[in-house]
């Protein structure tokens, strides 16, 4: 049996000598000698060695490969681009048209009226009527009831809410609230409830209405309601106080959140129901929405007033989805107002001069604007991702939680930075940024109203 020599161990196999290798060994020996150390030659020799080896490596590299020039003439090779259904933020033609129409309406109609509406804590009636002509509510009513909804449109609703809030969030709330009621009835209402109420949401005379969940207490938890519903011989009795109700004094219909048998549920309550009363409740922000409180004192509603006419787990699941869709709605509103803030601030810092130059040349200002832009996009992207998943019937609770967190933290920061960048002007009502700051604060605590 022959023995094969093992040359794989480190240092066993001998390498071929090269001119650069020989030179390096010689220079290393010289630089390490007592002679070089004594006369200070080590450093100069090292520099010579480095330059020599650098040139040598370059020469060797150039000599190792020879490229043959080939004349072309055909089309260059390119990888194919194939749609694969990845997350796509580009709206289709219909969505783009709707969003553009709403954007024009909010910019040309809502924004000029926002100052007076905020001052009076009331949405002008003519604007409410004009908004009905846009057909915002109709797109959430099924075709069977003369609406335009052939499929679930959560993404479209998010784009609409964003575009509406670009003009003014306070005015957007009462204009979008009926659409939230129509969406809730379409997605979770029973056949009888849809036939009773949805036809009125398909025309131009849309009833003022709202989904009401919030309650006036610290650390409010939408899944731990103090408003109670108990069964009665004729249906249910509701007791409690609800807040954050837009146009409360003129609303005709409410969908109210209450605890039933230990679980949250939603009830349809008409405004003329005995025991129901409304109080004005102006807020720091969102004043144009004409916010009020809904007081329910032994309000009796029939059995078919329970949304979906199903109690227990089914009612609780519907309630949870409504809350999540509403939170996405608030985030869409925050994205729209945040974009308005950004678009207002950028020209200001570019035109405002200090010490002979635009303040946007200052690094601190530029960084603040860049951060605002990043935060606006973060809110918008997470919101649209959640909306797209909801539209496809996929779980979207995680995306909703992220969007809400960003709205609470970053939405408020966008408002603060907008006021800060305008300096003393940001603190006055001459510019809308102080109102947008107040509205963005409200977006982080609102529940109900806008349901996508």
Cβ partners under 8 Å of residue 407, min gap 6: 330, 331, 334, 379, 443, 444
Q: Say yes or no: 104 and 194 in one domain.
A: yes
How many Cβ atoms from other residues are within 10 Å of residue 34's Cβ? Answer: 7
Q: 388 and 356, same structural domain?
A: yes
> CA-to-CA distance for 271 and 274, rounded, in angstroms?
9
Which residues on neighbouring strands pair with residue 280, listed in sequence order?
A: 292
Residue 49 lies in a domain: no
Flag whether 2 is in a domain.
no
Instruction: Establish if 45 belongs to a structural domain.
Output: no
Does residue 252 sit in the same domain as residue 158? no
In a domain, 12, yes or no: no
Q: Do 382 and 339 belong to one domain?
A: yes
**Joined tokens for residue 85:** 């259904």
CA distance 444 to 447: 9
Same domain, 282 and 334: no
Does residue 39 lie within any of the structural domains?
no
Q: Based on the domain organization, do 149 and 219 belong to the same domain?
A: no
Identify whether 81 is part of a domain. no
CATH number at residue 128: 1.10.540.10
CATH number where 257 lies: 2.40.110.10
pLDDT at 92: 85
Q: How far apart are CA 340 and CA 163, in angstroms?
A: 10
Last residue of a domain, one of 185, 207, 229: 207
Per-residue pLDDT tens for 29-74? Answer: 655 566 556 666 666 666 655 555 555 545 555 556 677 778 777 8
Q: Is residue 362 part of a domain?
A: yes
CATH of the domain at 338: 1.20.140.10
**Which pair of structure tokens corresponds to residue 412?**
């408020």
306: three-class secondary structure by DSSP:
strand
- Give percent of the chain with pLDDT exceeding 70: 83
pLDDT at site 204: 80
Say if residues 407 and 443 touch (Cβ distance below 8 Å): yes
Tens of pLDDT, residues 90-112? 888 888 999 999 999 999 999 99
End position of a domain, from candidates 160, 176, 207: 207
| Phi-psi region at 142: left, alpha or beta (left = phi > 0; alpha = psi -120 to 50) | beta
Q: What is the pLDDT, as a whole number, of residue 354?
A: 85
Q: How many domains are contained in the chain?
A: 3
Residues 247 and 307 in one domain: yes
* pLDDT number for residue 2: 47
- Residue 109 DSSP symbol: I
331 and 431 in a single domain? The answer is: yes
Same domain, 180 and 274: no
Regarding whether 340 and 268 lie in a shared domain, the answer is no
Range of the domain at 334: 318-443
**Of 207, 222, 253, the domain-final residue:** 207
Residues 323 and 427 in one domain: yes
Nearest Cα to Cα of residue 99 among 419, 390, 407, 336: 336
Q: Same domain for 309 and 322?
A: no
Residue 57 lies in a domain: no
- Which stretches of the chain score pLDDT less than 50? 1-4, 8, 10, 57
């Amino acid at each position: 049996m022959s023995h094969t020599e093992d040359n794989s161990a480190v240092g066993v196999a001998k390498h071929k000598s090269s001119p650069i290798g020989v030179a390096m060994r010689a220079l290393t020996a010289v630089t390490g000698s007592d002679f070089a150390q004594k006369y200070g030659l080590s450093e100069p020799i090292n520099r010579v060695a480095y330059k020599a080896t650098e040139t040598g490596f370059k020469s060797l590299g150039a000599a190792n490969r020879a490229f043959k020039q080939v004349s072309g003439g055909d089309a260059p090779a390119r990888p194919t681009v194939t749609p694969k259904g990845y997350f796509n933020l580009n709206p289709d033609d219909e969505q783009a048209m709707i969003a553009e129409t709403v954007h024009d309406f909010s910019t040309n109609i809502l924004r000029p009226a926002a100052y007076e509406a905020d001052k009076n804590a009331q949405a002008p009636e003519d604007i409410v009527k004009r908004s009905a002509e846009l057909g915002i509510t109709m797109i959430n009513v099924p075709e069977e009831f003369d609406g335009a909804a052939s499929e679930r449109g959560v993404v479209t609703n998010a784009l609409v809410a964003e575009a509406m809030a670009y003009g003014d969030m306070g005015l957007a709330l009462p204009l979008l609230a009926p659409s939230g009621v129509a969406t809730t009835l379409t997605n979770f209402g029973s056949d009888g409830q849809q036939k009773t109420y949805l036809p009125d949401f398909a025309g131009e005379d849309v009833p003022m209405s709202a989904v009401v969940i919030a309650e006036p207490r610290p650390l409010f938890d939408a899944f731990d309601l103090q408003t109670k519903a108990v069964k009665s011989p004729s249906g249910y009795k509701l007791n409690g106080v609800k807040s954050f109700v837009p146009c409360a004094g003129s609303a005709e219909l409410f969908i109210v959140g209450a605890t039933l048998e230990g679980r949250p549920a939603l009830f349809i309550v008409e405004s003329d129901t005995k025991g129901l009363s409304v109080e004005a409740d102006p807020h720091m922000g969102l004043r144009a929405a004409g916010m009020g409180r809904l007081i329910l004192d032994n309000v009796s509603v029939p059995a078919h007033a329970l949304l979906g006419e199903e109690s227990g787990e089914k009612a609780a699941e519907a309630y949870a989805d409504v809350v999540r869709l509403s939170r996405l709605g608030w985030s869409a509103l925050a994205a729209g107002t945040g974009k308005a803030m950004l678009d207002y601030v950028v020209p200001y810092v570019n035109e405002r001069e200090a010490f002979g130059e635009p303040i946007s040349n200052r690094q601190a200002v530029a960084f603040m604007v860049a951060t605002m832009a990043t935060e606006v996009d973060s809110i918008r992207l997470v919101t649209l991702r959640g909306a797209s998943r909801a539209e496809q019937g996929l779980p979207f609770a995680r995306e909703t939680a992220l969007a809400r967190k960003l709205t609470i933290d970053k939405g408020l920061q966008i408002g603060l930075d907008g006021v800060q960048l305008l300096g003393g002007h940001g603190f006055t009502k001459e510019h809308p940024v102080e109102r947008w700051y107040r509205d963005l604060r409200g977006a982080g605590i609102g529940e109900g109203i806008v349901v996508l």
